[in-house]
Chains A and B, each alone.
Chain A
Amino acid sequence: MTLLSVENLGFAYGRDRPVLDDISFTVPQGANVGLVGESGSGKSTLLRLLLGLESPQKGRILFDGAPLQARDRRYMHAYRRRVQAVFQDPYSSLNPAHRVQRIVTEPLRSLKIPGDHRQMAEEAITSVGLDPDTLTRYPHQFSGGQRQRIAIARAIVARPELLLADEAVSALDLSTRVRIVDLFGEIAQKMTMVFVSHDMGVVAALCDRIVVLDRGRIVEAGETAAILRAPQHAYTRSLLSSIPRMPAGQPQDPS
């Protein structure tokens, strides 16, 4: 079943030239789709459209079979119940005046989800590898990667059906990144995910499908394994060939 379907989407900020042009793809229920592409190619803009924060000038977005109505407040309230996001700049999305507890439980309150919010927040915050004590402090008292994980905890606390994640693991050290990728892998069993990342290794580990954007257009889309094995488009090939690999040497087994 298709959860999200994007049809011939076109978008421009103001009178500028289009940032997105004729974008079409579908996201099956339960799938993890990786969205990759050069800086400025329109990935974050596409997520803003999927979240209903901007409306397309052309084309449409279907969620669960019905068109997304970004201007309809009642519709959007119901939509937000099912969709959460992790933004690219975690700090600016965390209210500096609020304690982490209030930030993480915000979706639970605004969606009027019943239950013990304190305990749900604790579960979410420990699942991203942070101390429960984090909840009593303020965002500025944390490191970049800790803030990014606070944003992830907020996005998963209400168990959304669809998670839109924009560079959600880019500020994390590798062992923490593995932990979060595993966590996403676990919850992804009951969740659909659109995952923007410039880290092809993470995309390869987490996503079953990849969509490649280049200057606002889709230049390639398909199964991850197929794209990694035989990238068709020149841009995809350059994307894959410029990945900095680990220096050569004997792989060390930590065990």
Chain B
Amino acid sequence: MALLTVETLTLATADTVLVEDLSFTIAPGERFGLIGESGSGKSLTSLAVTGLLPRAITPSGRIVLDGTEVIGASERALGALRGRAVATVFQEPLTALDPLMPLGRQIAGPVRRRLKRTGEASAAAVTAEVRKLTDQVRLPDPERLLGAYPHEVSGGQRQRVAIAMALACRPKLLIADEPTTALDVTTQAEIVTLLLDLVRDEGIALLFISHDLGVVGQVAERVMVMRNGRAVESGPAGQVLTAPRDDYTRSLVAAARRFDDALEGRP
């Protein structure tokens, strides 16, 4: 049975349709990639899945996550779903972090909630788990960084804190919205390996949103391409990225090759 089912999802404000007639499923442990034009509705779709849409946007259609109907669910039911069934690395980490709280305490929050669910949440256990997570996401100099506030660390360091917070939940579905955009390629490669290991070892499913087709090719088994609020193409990652059928997907792949070419010194 699918972990996530999205059926004919439409998202609209009072005067504009932003996402239209979107359907897809993600199986437990599956790695699903979402790519597409800026403004095509990727982030809104991921927000709809977790019931976090801005007030001005109304969903219709059906979303079932881990057996729970998301559209129309009470805030309490959604609260229970978040953390246990789904966790998100948001696109702009700064907006998801509390500017007034040291980073170590922000990571400790979800760690403590999970340990409580499974039994032992002693201060020592929480601290040990926080340190393990900061190691896993390769945060350097944890003594300083865990005590620092969000504005006192670099963009890529903030992004890794946000990843650590989502991983702390050990959800069934991990939504990662552009989780590596602020990372240099060496750190990015480490984070991608970390995600793939965790997904494999813990059976976590992944909804991975990224503009980086090379990274999507490494991470996702299946991809869906969006444009103007609609899915224009979907299929196995290898097929969509090497033999795209849709014109827009083709232009994306051509653009990726142009930057690859620039690296090879072919203008």
Chain A interface residues toward B at CB < 8 A: 13, 16, 36-41, 44, 88-92, 140-146, 149, 166-167, 170-178, 198-202, 204-205, 225, 228-229, 238-240, 242-254
Contacts and interface: CB of A to CB of B under 8 A. Distances in A.
8 contacts: A140-B54, A177-B259, A198-B182, A198-B185, A198-B188, A238-B186, A242-B188, A244-B215
Given A37-B184, A253-B254, A91 B155 contact: no
Nearest to B35: A173
B14 interface: no
A125 B160 CA distance: 32
B94 interface: yes
B68 interface: no
Contacts of B157: 39-40
A205 B214 contact: no
B116 interface: no
9 nearest A-B pairs in the assembled complex, by CB-CB distance: A249-B242, A201-B259, A39-B156, A145-B38, A244-B214, A174-B255, A204-B262, A205-B262, A198-B184
B38 A143 contact: yes
Given A172-B38, A198-B184, A254-B247, 10 more contacts: A13-B152, A40-B140, A40-B153, A167-B155, A178-B258, A205-B259, A244-B192, A246-B214, A249-B238, A249-B242
Given A44-B155, A172-B211, A245-B260, A39 B181 contact: no
Interface residues of B, number: 66
A247 B241 contact: yes
B36 interface: yes
Main secondary structure, interface of B, reads helix
Given A39-B184, A239-B184, A252-B250, A199 B259 contact: yes
Contacts of B264: 228
B91 interface: yes
B30 interface: no
B258 A205 contact: yes
Given A88-B182, A171-B91, A242-B189, A201 B262 contact: yes
B251 A175 contact: yes
A213 to B, nearest CB: 10
Contacts of B257: 246, 251
Nearest to B42: A143
Interface string B233-256: 000011001111001101111111
B71 to A, nearest CB: 21
B156 A145 contact: no
Nearest to B264: A228
B122 interface: no
B132 interface: no
Contacts of B255: 174-175, 177-178
A176 B211 CA distance: 10
B154 A174 contact: no
Given A198-B188, A246-B214, A228 B182 contact: no
A174 B178 CA distance: 13
Nearest to A131: B39
A122 B60 CA distance: 34
Contacts of B258: 178, 205
Q: Counting chain B CB atoms within 10 Å of each CB, which of A229, A238, A243 scores highest?
A: A243
Given A144-B92, A176-B38, A251-B257, A246 B241 contact: yes
B200 interface: no
B244 A39 contact: no
Contacts of A202: 259, 262
A249 to B, nearest CB: 3
Interface in B60-92: 91-92
Contacts of B185: 198, 200, 239, 242-244
A252 B186 contact: no
B214 A245 contact: yes
A244 B218 contact: yes
A141 B260 CA distance: 33
A38 B252 contact: no
Contacts of B94: 89, 91-92
A246 B213 contact: yes
Contact of B37 (A44, A173, A229): A173
A200 B252 contact: no
Contacts of A166: 155
Q: Counting chain B CB atoms within 10 Å of each CB, which of A89, A91, A251 scores highest?
A: A89
B265 interface: yes
Contacts of B59: none
